[in-house]
């Protein structure tokens, strides 16, 4: 896992704005996500209902746009605040936990060799 602040991202004017942070020519998956208080993502949705969520060959980026959260990576809990950018590396078990008082709004993104199907 790598952590950045929005103002630490490189100044990129071509390609996607995470170029140089994660591999992949295009942003190919992602969404804006509004979380309810105390929600923990991907709980027990792993193989056989296991509490395990990984991407074996892919990076995932989380950007906290509003509120607070905790990012759980391989069992370690790391506080997140507005403006944090977390890069989850391949093979890392990860879960986002929205704050009880100030629930989060976040972006999650993946990059890859091809454009999203809606862009074709």
| Predicted pLDDT of residue 46 | 86
Pairing, β 26-34 against β 105-112: antiparallel
pTM of the model: 0.95
| Predicted pLDDT of residue 73 | 98
Q: Mind listing the domains of the chain with CATH numbers? A: 28-42+52-120 (2.60.120.10)
> How far apart (Å, rounded) are the C-alpha atoms in residues 29 and 48?
25
3-state secondary structure of 116: coil
44: DSSP letter: T
| Predicted pLDDT of residue 47 | 86
Across the range 30-55, mean pLDDT stands at 94
Q: For tokens 């509004």, name the residue.
A: 34
- How many Cβ atoms from other residues are within 10 Å of residue 35's Cβ? 18
| Predicted pLDDT of residue 62 | 99
């Amino acid at each position: 896992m790598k952590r950045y602040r929005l103002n630490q991202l490189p100044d990129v004017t071509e390609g996607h704005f995470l170029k140089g942070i994660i591999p992949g020519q295009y942003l190919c998956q992602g969404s804006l996500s509004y979380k309810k208080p105390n929600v923990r993502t991907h709980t027990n949705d792993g193989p056989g209902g296991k509490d395990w969520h990984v991407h074996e060959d892919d990076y995932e980026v989380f950007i906290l746009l509003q509120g607070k959260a905790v990012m759980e990576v391989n069992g370690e809990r790391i506080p997140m605040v507005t403006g944090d950018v977390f890069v989850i590396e391949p093979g890392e078990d990860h879960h986002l936990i929205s704050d009880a008082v100030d629930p989060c709004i976040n972006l999650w993104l993946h990059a890859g060799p091809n454009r999203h199907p809606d862009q074709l």
